[in-house]
């Protein structure tokens, strides 16, 4: 199984970024699980997603030892926290900020090998690791400074055990790079990717760039604007969800009183009341109908235009999914 992961923070732009990835993940037919690690203060209500699982991670953008603020720290820190909390033996696809999928990634990896996107403008020079002299401070902290670095950047396809190995060093290297003179003048993504390349090389991972760049579009990809516009349209209308099939979760008990349904979710004291329209939608979630089928049936029943009926059905289904009353499955005929 391939677990596709995005690490980001709360906020409208981060939510849009996560939803664009969700749309592209579904539309390209990516298998496995989609996970959003949200770096937020404890107690913050997690956002709802139709397909992605959302897990909270402690925010690390303010480094506790060097008093530096940098959002890039969140990526290795959140991944490390998640891997320690949920040990697994699987392939992980770590997405870069703003990246979207254009084709499904199907290759699963064994430990010791990884695939990343090619970094066309990888900085080179006479400094340590073949980097420019601006990175000369690394001489004081890295022993094997003559190791050649792969010209890579996120997204990264890697086995979970390898990711767990490199995350602490990835985080440490980020702190070292951020203490260098002139650090604020460099693009933030450069530090994240250079620290990743060094950590992977020090742990003797074989990293190549074959195939991933063709399947994933990053924001500076020439094809990105068109893809982003297409996915944004599907996101705004909810059209990408209509082919999914809502299936009731096992163990959900129901009762109907005066055309209103009440759902008992898990614990006996967790009772959810559905209004009349939500009750009708719940009745139609029989495990066979797609979201499109449900919209069509209600559209015909009430002679209501699609553009008015669809948002209510989609929002209700997402709400029921977020409470774990439903799961959404890919429909295959």
3-state secondary structure 221-265: CCCHHHHHHHHHHHHHHCHHHCCEEEEECCCCEEEEECCEEEEEC
Q: Which value, to the nearest 10 degrees, does the dihedral of the CA atoms of residues 229, 235, 238, 239 take? A: 40
Residue 187 burial class via C-beta count within 10 angstroms: exposed 0-12, middle 13-18, buried 19 and up: exposed
Contact indicator for 98, 219 with CB cutoff of 8 Å = yes
Strand partners, 246: 328
pLDDT over threshold 80, residue 313 = yes
Mean pLDDT of 4-26: 96
Average pLDDT of the chain is: 92
Q: Which fold has domain 242-330?
A: Outer Surface Protein A; domain 3 (3.90.930)
Q: Choose the weakest-confidence range: 6-10, 97-101, 175-179, 234-238.
A: 234-238
**Rounded-to-integer distance, Cα 72 and Cα 91, Å:** 22
pLDDT digits (tens, 9 = 90+) for 21-80: 999 999 999 999 999 999 998 888 888 888 999 999 999 999 888 889 999 999 999 999
Q: What is the pLDDT of residue 333?
A: 45
Contact indicator for 4, 93 with CB cutoff of 8 Å = yes
Q: What is the pLDDT of residue 332?
A: 53
Q: Where in the chain is the domain with CATH 3.90.550.10?
A: 2-232
Q: What is the DSSP string of 260-282?
A: EEEEE-SSTT-EEE--HHHHHHH
Q: Where in the chain is the domain with CATH 3.90.930.60?
A: 242-330
End-to-end CA separation in angstroms for the chain: 23
pLDDT over threshold 70, residue 110 = yes
Out of 1.10.1740.110, 3.20.20.80, 3.90.550.10, 3.50.50.60, the CATH code matching 2-232 is 3.90.550.10
Mean pLDDT of 262-271: 76
Q: Choose the weakest-confidence range: 154-158, 201-205, 243-247.
A: 243-247
Q: What is the pLDDT of residue 331?
A: 58
Instruction: Tell me the whole-structure pTM to 2 decimals.
Output: 0.88
Residue 226 sits at the vertex; the CA angle it makes with 224 and 228, to the nearest 5 degrees, is 65
Q: How confident is the model at residue 316 (pLDDT cuts 50, 70, 90)?
A: very high
**Rounded-to-integer distance, Cα 104 and Cα 215, Å:** 7
Q: How confident is the model at residue 188 (pLDDT cuts 50, 70, 90)?
A: confident
């Amino acid at each position: 199984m391939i677990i596709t992961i995005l690490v980001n923070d709360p906020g409208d732009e981060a939510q849009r970024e996560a939803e664009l990835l969700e749309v592209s993940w579904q539309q390209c037919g990516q298998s496995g699980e989609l996970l959003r690690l949200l770096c937020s203060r404890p107690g913050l209500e997690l956002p709802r997603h139709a397909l992605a699982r959302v897990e909270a991670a402690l925010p690390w953008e303010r480094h506790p030892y060097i008093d530096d603020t940098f959002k890039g720290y969140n990526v290795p820190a959140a991944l490390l926290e998640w891997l320690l909390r949920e040990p697994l033996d699987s392939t992980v696809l770590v997405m870069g900020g703003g990246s979207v999928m254009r084709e499904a990634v199907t290759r699963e990896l064994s430990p010791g090998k990884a695939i990343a996107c090619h970094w066309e403008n990888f900085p080179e020079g006479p400094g340590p690791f073949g980097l420019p002299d601006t990175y000369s401070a690394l001489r004081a902290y890295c022993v094997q400074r003559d190791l050649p670095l792969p010209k890579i950047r996120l997204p990264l396809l890697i086995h979970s055990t390898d990711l767990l190995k490199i995350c602490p060093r990835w985080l440490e290297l980020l702190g070292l790079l951020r203490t260098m003179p002139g650090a604020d003048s460099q693009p933030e993504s450069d530090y994240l990717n250079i620290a990743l390349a060094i950590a992977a090389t020090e742990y003797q991972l074989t990293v190549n760039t074959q195939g991933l760049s063709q399947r994933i579009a990053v924001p500076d990809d020439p094809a990105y604007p068109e893809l982003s516009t297409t996915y944004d349209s599907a996101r705004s209308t909810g059209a990408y969800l209509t082919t999914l099939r809502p299936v009731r979760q096992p163990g959900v008990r129901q009762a109907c009183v005066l055309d209103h349904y009440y759902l008992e979710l898990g614990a006996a004291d967790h009772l959810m009341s559905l209004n009349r329209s939500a009750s009708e939608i719940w009745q139609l979630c029989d495990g066979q109908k797609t979201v499109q089928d449900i919209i069509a049936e209600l559209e015909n029943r009430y002679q209501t235009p699609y553009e008015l009926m669809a948002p209510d059905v989609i929002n209700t289904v997402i709400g029921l999914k977020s409470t774990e009353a439903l799961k959404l499955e890919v429909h295959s005929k």
